[in-house]
Structure 1
Amino acid sequence: MPIKLPSTLPAYNVLTREGVMVMDDELAAHQDIRPLKIGLLNLMPKKIQTETQFARLIGATPLQIELTLIRMSDHEAKNTASDHMDSFYRTFRDVRDEKFDGLIITGAPIEHLPFEEVSYWDELCEVMDWTQTHVHSTFGVCWGGMAMLHHFHNVPKHMLDQKLFGAFRHTNLAPASPYLRGFSDDCVVPVSRWTEVRQAEVEAAGLPVLLGSDVTGPCLIEDPAHRALYILNHFEYDSDTLKQEYDRDLASVQVEGAEIEVPVGYFPNNDPAQTPANRWRSHAHLLYGNWIAEIYLTTPYDMDRIGQEQTDLRG
């Protein structure tokens, strides 16, 4: 089954060319099934790139997905055209009376700020509390996951002396988890952040770590009590996303003598002149496909019941 997207959304043509099954509103209306309603709260500056990345992953399952693009109500995007935002995004204020089977909260390039100093923090706290009554399963990504860990469990984020940047190998710590169904014993995950959460503090909060690395720390964390997953790294990245970030960092260096490190384990032979190979795509599809499958197995058919049942509906 396809993912339902407006035919004028840039992701529609991109995913069609890639062979991802997509459908517009007219075709979806002829299917007598209830699609899974998934929201994407997009906090990233490159909105179009990010929405395409996540649509690609959640649209690759056998289920029909209805994707709703959401933005913070009073925060204006600076890097995406206003007509795109007006045409395809709804504010949280506009959707907060609705129910969703799933919600993805993306990362945001504001790691250096304490959570409470983020301009939209109060509304994001409202969003996170709202997920407990209006969303069946929430997926917090990178800063979005750290924000949820801080909000629900008071797990702090810690600034790093050096950016964790590259494609790092991670260990499968919970092979029996339904979210890691089909995973290898280890896998490569793109990492790009200046902050970390620490294993001991996550464990002290009673949260199981599903994927982790001795170098980069916890990667995928489950929060059953809040029906949530937190991934602190970027399975959704395209093959060249880390290269784009590396090129951007090189271009933005203004301090004489400053050095930008080449992403670890990313370019062949550690040579930025060579084309990087994507070594995480299959596991990215597995993870988000497993998340969608778990939602399908456990979400109420009657969406009014979402948020009323706190236990695993599989019994």
Structure 2
Amino acid sequence: MPLHLPKHFPAIERLKQENILVERGEEETAHGQVKPIKIAVLNLMPTKLQTETDILRLLSASPLDIEVAWMRLRSHTPTHVPAAHMDAYYHYFGELVSQSFDGLIVTGAPVEHLNFEEVDYWDELTQIFSWARTSLKSTLYICWAAQAGLYFHERIHKYALPKKMFGIFPQRVLHPEVPIFRGFDDVFCMPHSRHTEIRKEDILQHPELTLLAESEECGVSMCMTAGGKEIFITGHMEYAPDTLDQEYHRDAGKRDDVDLPRHYYRDDNPAKGPLVTWRAHAHLLFTNWMNEYLR
């Protein structure tokens, strides 16, 4: 089934090049026979257009009819995307709160160096977290958003790492019976790009949380509240094949102490490009989330 996107949405052409079925314009969904699943996405990433494409690519993997609404904050003005794009395609939380949504995705954000309460949009963000818990079927928290959600809902703190967690890391599935892992292998790979962590011992002190997946190298990668009401992912399953490559070259152009992303380049050689090991499980994870938690 297709994704339903606004006319002229920038990601449409890229998705069509990847043979992803897209319908343009709300009027094209008006005569549909099946009520679509409605998902709001709070996109906090500075690379908004790339993140839009990355998330839509994974949402398209489901056979379900999907409607996506992009959410913005009144308390924060993005500086890395044209204002015209935000005005055309994004809606303030107050404009969406009265609508009926099934799920919410909250992306990462480059604010790890700040305490949560120091983030300029923290108050508005926590209003959204509260709304999601009481009004939606499930929320998917990604990277920094996972840390923020765990802090707000459970008072679990994040901790600074001595060195950036950067690369592709194998994750061990701890509860294969949980529906989010339907069809998963016992081990799957997940991209990580972060300077902070959530600690396993803190998760285990909260009986309302289930630790879902972890890695010997990068620690906690997934946990959830009862019934998948909130699913917290500390990495970036949505990342495109070249995202870590772009991050590496961006940082290497500024400093000479940047490590290669681990388990990413063929033979650890940037000239040979990345070996993609997470794509299939990324599609499966998002499909399972929609099928098992939003229907």
With normalisation by structure 2, the TM-score equals: 0.97
CA contact (8 A) 1:73 1:93 kept: no
Tell me if structure 2 keeps the 8 A contact 1:209–1:222.
Answer: yes
Which residue identity lines up with residue 269 of structure 2 in the other structure?
D
Aligned pairs for 1:81-92 (under 5 A) are 81-92=82-93
Report the alpha carbon displacement of residue 226 of structure 1 after superposing the two structures with TM.
Answer: 7.3
User: Within the alignment, does 1:10 sit opposite 2:5 as a pair?
Assistant: no
Structure 1, unmatched stretches of 5+, are: 298-315
Is the Cα contact below 8 Å between 1:188 and 1:280 reproduced in 2?
Answer: yes
**Given residue 294 of structure 1, which amino acid in structure 2 is its aligned partner?**
E
Paired positions, count: 293
Say whether the 8 Å CA contact 2:146–2:233 is kept in structure 1: yes
Deviation at 1:75, TM superposition (A): 0.9
Give how far 1:134 is off.
Answer: 2.1
Q: Residues of 1 paired with 2:36 and 2:183: CA distance?
A: 25
Cα distance in 2 for residues equivalent to 1:198 and 1:58:
29
Give TM-score scaled by structure 1 length. 0.91
Shift of 1:120: 0.2
Give the 5 Å matches for 1:172-183: 172-183=173-184
Q: Give the Å deviation of 1:296.
A: 4.2
Q: Distance in 2 between matches of 1:293 and 1:156?
A: 31
Q: Secondary structure at the match of 1:147?
A: helix
Mapping 1:60-139, distance limit 5 Å: 60-139=61-140
CA distance in 1 between counterparts of 2:23 and 2:181 reads: 28
2:254 aligns to what? 252
Instruction: Report runs of 4+ in structure 1 exceeding 6 Å deviation.
Output: none
Structure 1 contact 2–60 (Cα < 8 Å) conserved: no
Q: Report how far residue 83 of structure 1 moved.
A: 0.6
Letter in 1 for 2:162: D
Partner of 1:243: 245
Residue identity opposite 1:222 in structure 2: M
Q: What is residue 214 of structure 1 aligned with on the other side?
A: 216
Higher mean C-alpha deviation, range 130-139 or range 64-73: 130-139
Counterpart position of 1:31: 32
Gaps of 5+ in 2: none
Kept after mapping to 1: 8 A contact 2:42/2:104: yes
What's the secondary structure of 2:137's corresponding residue? Answer: strand
Name the aligned partner's letter for residue 71 of structure 1: R
**2:142 equivalent in structure 1:** 141
Deviation at 1:215, TM superposition (A): 1.1
Letter in 1 for 2:141: G
Q: AA paired with 1:69?
A: W
2:137–2:293 CA contact under 8 A, matched in 1: yes
Deviations 1:137-159 (A, max 9, x none): 10000001111100010010000
In structure 1, what is the Cα distance between the partners aligned to 2:284 and 2:21? 17
Contact 1:171 1:187 in 2 (8 A): yes
Whole-Å Cα distance in 1 between the matches of residues 100 and 132 of structure 2?
9
CA shift, 1:294, in A, is 1.3
Query: In 2, Cα distance between the equivalents of 1:210 and 1:193?
Result: 19
